[in-house]
């Protein structure tokens, strides 16, 4: 028996993903433009072309359901693209910007992988064989894109980013204190006061310890 509730969720998921893919298509234009690494640039351009196919497959799915291709709302993807734009506008070294681009792109790919995986499963449960196959094809492309990004990060972008100088344009304090007014250095005076307070506290809080546990050679039986 077909569940109308699941059918309703299924159409809602399709509409949400339709909006997500349209946002991603737009976002990939910016990402391809901002990428410095030539492999990364071409990976984004290739995936943008694939994204066009993803949109087309969603439209085919709507058609198979006799539904209009309606664009729902995907605030999750909107947030991830917003984060990506913020991350790449920080004025890093180009290799660090590339690392930020890969981080953002992989967050987006994982969103898509989860969404297409669920859609494929729900299509199967509802008996929509054609949609199940369409979603499966797209899911495979999302997984391949994710793997390709991992490869580019490991082989090229991350090693370069690891050797990049610290970008002064970065805003906000770093956790290691590099953004402090004295450059994160602790004066000898401060260190001496800290040690004295630490010593006094350890003397005050020193406890006699837990009394030794009575040894029972064998478990007591009742």
Neighbours of 182 (CB within 10 A): 9
Interacting residues with Fe ion (CB under 5 A): 51, 54, 112, 142
Identity of the residue, 112 or 132, whose beta carbon is nearer to Fe ion in the bound complex: 112
Could you tell me the smallest distance in angstroms from the CB atom of residue 185 to Fe ion? 45
Cβ proximity to Fe ion: between 99 and 108 the closer is: 108
Output the smallest distance, CB 149 to Fe ion, in A: 10
Shortest distance, CB of residue 95 to Fe ion, whole angstroms?
Answer: 23
Nearest CA to 58 out of 121, 128, 135 is that of: 135
The residue among 92 and 116 lying less far from Fe ion, judged by its C-beta, is 116
Spatial distance between the Cα atoms of 140 and 197, rounded to a whole number of angstroms: 60
Residue 57 CA, chain-centre distance (Å), reads 24
Q: How far is the CB of 129 from Fe ion (least distance, A)?
A: 21
Q: Give the torsion through C-alpha atoms of 82, 143, 42, 94, to 10 deg.
A: 50
DSSP type of residue 184 = T
Are 73 and 19 in contact by the 8 Å Cβ rule? The answer is yes
- 40 vs 92, beta carbon nearer Fe ion: 40
Using CB atoms, what's the residue nearest to Fe ion? 54
């Amino acid at each position: 028996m077909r569940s109308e509730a699941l059918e309703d969720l299924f159409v809602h998921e399709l509409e949400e993903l339709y909006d997500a893919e349209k946002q991603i298509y737009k976002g990939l234009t910016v990402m391809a433009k901002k990428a410095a690494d030539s492999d990364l640039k071409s990976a984004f351009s290739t995936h943008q072309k694939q994204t066009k196919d993803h949109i087309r497959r969603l439209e085919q799915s709507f058609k198979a359901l006799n539904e209009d291709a309606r664009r729902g709302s995907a605030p999750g993807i909107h947030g991830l693209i917003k984060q990506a734009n913020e991350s790449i506008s920080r004025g890093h070294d180009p290799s660090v910007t590339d690392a930020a681009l890969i981080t953002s792109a992989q967050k987006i790919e994982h969103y898509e992988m989860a969404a297409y995986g669920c859609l494929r499963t729900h299509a199967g449960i509802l008996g929509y064989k054609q949609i199940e196959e369409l979603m499966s094809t797209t899911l495979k492309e999302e997984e391949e894109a994710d793997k390709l990004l991992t490869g580019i990060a490991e082989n090229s972008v991350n090693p370069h980013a690891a050797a990049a100088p610290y970008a002064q344009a970065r805003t906000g304090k770093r956790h290691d204190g590099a953004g402090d007014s004295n450059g994160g250095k602790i004066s000898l005076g401060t260190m001496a006061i800290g040690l004295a307070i630490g010593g006094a506290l350890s003397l005050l809080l020193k406890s006699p310890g837990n009394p030794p546990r009575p040894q029972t050679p064998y478990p007591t039986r009742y």
